[in-house]
Amino acid sequence: MTERAAADLVADEVAPGVYVATAQMYTTTTTIIAGADGGCLLIDPAVSVDELAALARWLRARGLRPVAGWSTHPHWDHLLWSRELGDAIRYATPRATEVAARELPGLIEGVRSSSPGHDLRVFAQLEPLRTAEIDWRGPRAVCLAHDAHAPGHGAVFLPETGVLIAGDMCSDIEIPLPDLDAPDPCGGYRAGLDLLASIPGVAVVVPGHGTVGDRAEFRRRVAADFAYLDAVEAGADIADPRLTVDWLRAEHARLTALLAEPADSPPPAAQPGEP
């Protein structure tokens, strides 16, 4: 036992059997989906060592154990795991799996610099999902792959409850963050956003960072994200209320600079540790 009292996890039930916990760092969400016989699907467990420990305690207290995991995209804050969460198979899209393996040293550096202390032997241990749905004994979980924010980004939609676990999209606190290494960052982002917007029956949206929204809020965020892309591509002034934090202003400046450059210039360097 440590002297320090371990904080308990707080998770909201956003739909029957679907729980969302929110970490302090970057307002990162973790989604827990209850399945058959105490099994659960765990999406993007995050972020600190203490928060993952609290998550494992929360699951144990409710008789839940992860039987499958999902990483929405190959950024370090979405690839975390701990021994206490067990040895469930952890899926991502095939492309995300490849990118995570290829970029592992940089991803590990992100963990070390931003959220140190994790057991790196269980970090980013992914299996490529080669089917359209996650194979597990629980509510249907449909994968929607695109390359908007990161290569091989995979949102998960639960048709029975209308919950969309969007990964790093559809946030109320973050502007769209296109993959600046992609050949057409804004075009790729629009394609991903179109895909999410085309899903029928979204009743709840869970962004990777930010707060959970209802059906109307999902539509509002999609419209706000398209409006941001329209403005940035037109070189217009942006009056987006999410552009209030320094690191998001910096990301916005990087995108603006990239769009102003000739097509064959390399993208400006990212800051280490950014989500």
Enumerate binding residues for Zn ion (CB under 5 A).
Answer: 75, 168, 275
Select 106 or 201, whichever has its Cβ closest to Zn ion.
Answer: 106
The residues, any chain, with a CB within 8 Å of residue 175's CB and separated by 6 or more, are 225, 228, 240, 242, 243, 248, 251, 252
Q: How far is the CB of 52 from Zn ion (least distance, A)?
A: 18
Cα separation, 171 vs 211, in Å, equals 7
Each residue of 186-205: b (16+ CB within 10 Å) or e? Answer: bebbbebbebbbebeebebb
Q: How many CB atoms lie within 10 A of CB 247?
A: 13
Q: How far is the CB of 230 from Zn ion (least distance, A)?
A: 22
Q: How far is the CB of 211 from Zn ion (least distance, A)?
A: 17
Cα separation, 251 vs 49, in Å, equals 27
Select 147 or 168, whichever has its Cβ closest to Zn ion.
Answer: 168
Cα separation, 250 vs 179, in Å, equals 14
Select 29 or 161, whichever has its Cβ closest to Zn ion.
Answer: 29
Select 161 or 171, whichever has its Cβ closest to Zn ion.
Answer: 171
Q: State which H helix or E strand residue 21 sits in.
A: strand 18-22
Q: How far is the CB of 78 from Zn ion (least distance, A)?
A: 6
Alpha carbon separation from 192 to 92, 147, 151 (Å, rounded): 16, 6, 11
In the bound complex, which residue of the shown chain has the CB atom lying closest to Zn ion?
75
Q: How far is the CB of 77 from Zn ion (least distance, A)?
A: 7
Select 75 or 190, whichever has its Cβ closest to Zn ion.
Answer: 75
Nearest CA to 168 among 180, 178, 159, 160? 178
Select 75 or 90, whichever has its Cβ closest to Zn ion.
Answer: 75
DSSP 107-162: HHHHHHHHSTT--GGGTT--EE--SSB--SSSS--EEEEE-SSSTTEEEEEETTTT
Q: How far is the CB of 149 from Zn ion (least distance, A)?
A: 6
Select 75 or 254, whichever has its Cβ closest to Zn ion.
Answer: 75
* The amino acid at 121: R
Cα separation, 15 vs 94, in Å, equals 29
Q: How far is the CB of 181 from Zn ion (least distance, A)?
A: 13
Q: Token pair of 229, please?
A: 């892309």
